[in-house]
Amino acid sequence: MTTKGYVGSYTKKEGKGIYIFELNEDNGEIQSVDTGYDIEASTYLAQTEQFLYAITKENEACGVAAFKKDENGQLTLINKCLASENGTGCYISVSSDHNFLFEAVYTAGIARIYQLNPETGEVVKLIEELEHSYPTGTHERQDHNHIHFIRETPDHKYVAVTDLGADKIVTYTFGVEGFKEHAVSKFHAEDGPRHIEFHNNGTYAYVVHELSNRVSVVQYHDGKFEEIERHLTIPEDFTGETKLAAVRLSHDQQNLYISNRGHDSIAIFTVVDDGKGINPIEIVKSGGEFPRDFNITESDEYLVCAHQEGNYALTVFRRDTNSGMLIATDNQYTAPEGVFVDFLNSLL
């Protein structure tokens, strides 16, 4: 069986934008990697069944691009909405009703909301650009508010926004008039919350902290996040420079995976008590340098990891569906400056 996927990339050095790859799930090897669309700064992508959205920029104009997907994953540009000069984003997501697109802008500490046409896939307009102004933390990288993630909550009532600079998650209601603050959840000093992965039950989530290299298991309720436990994602005796990156749950909800840039590894946890807790089981080398993102196939049998630095390896691991352990199967292809991985028709 062949599974197709996308890699989004920086375009500062050798990256071309959006790559399309084919994974052979019979032997765990990538069969090809091709440029899917040559577009600047497509560092994060978001999908619906018919459409794909990408972060992009042209000179100083920043925003997003919309594409139509065919059955083979090939892309046709629909339009671009480049409505800001306040910096390119680092994360995008689509609302569950497909009416809105959300964008996080790390450097400027900005959250954007766009109106979508769910029938045509077009990005209609930028509705609001909201700048955070919360008190920031004491870490050297917390000199400013830094929004790193924005995504609809499982109850479909809010978007959750992580602010690495302020050690906070802020939830907002949203609509055609923009954002309205609902709640603020604070984490430990110098945590630097980066991304959130929600359990399918909607009650628990996993917040990964870039600065402290820890993951918080949290209880979610009505826009608020309360920490239950926390774990380190690197060996306790590791003293080198490292910062975690991506977090993904297996589709069977049995394992949590987190990548570490610097230690160049993937931490594996077993999920227990219907999502209320996690137990560390292993940390495996990612097979490349600076593992920025990875994703898990719909079959739950393979994990594909993109590396931003070094030789830009695109590595493949077979996942043991009983234990959650990872075994490397392939590293023959590259995706230059790869920073995002997803599979065709996999909803984010």
**Is residue 65 a part of any domain in this protein?**
yes
Backbone angles phi, psi at 274, to 5 degrees: 55, 40
Rounded Cα–Cα distance for residues 42 and 22 (Å): 19
User: Tell me, what's the pLDDT at 126?
Assistant: 98
**Is residue 310 a part of any domain in this protein?**
no
**Is residue 275 a part of any domain in this protein?**
no
**Number of independent structural domains in the chain:** 1
292 Cβ neighbours under 8 A, 6+ residues apart? 245, 246, 259, 261, 306, 307, 308, 338, 339, 340
User: Tell me, what's the pLDDT at 348?
Assistant: 37
**Is residue 348 a part of any domain in this protein?**
no
**Is residue 156 a part of any domain in this protein?**
yes
Q: b or e along 322-339 (b: 16 or more beta carbons within 10 Å of the residue's beta carbon)?
A: eebebebbbbebbbbbbb
Q: Are 283 and 269 in contact (CB under 8 A)?
A: no
Domain with residue 111: its CATH number is 2.130.10.10
User: Edge to edge, what strands does the sheet with 2-9 contain?
Assistant: 29-38, 17-24, 2-9, 338-343
**Is residue 283 a part of any domain in this protein?**
no
Q: How far is CA 25 from CA 22, 177, 192, 294, in A?
A: 9, 45, 36, 16
Q: Are 124 and 100 in contact (CB under 8 A)?
A: no
58 Cβ neighbours under 8 A, 6+ residues apart? 40, 80, 82
**Is residue 145 a part of any domain in this protein?**
yes
Rounded Cα–Cα distance for residues 338 and 14 (Å): 10
Low-confidence stretches of the chain (pLDDT < 70) are 346-348
List the domain range (segments joined by +) for residue 202: 43-232
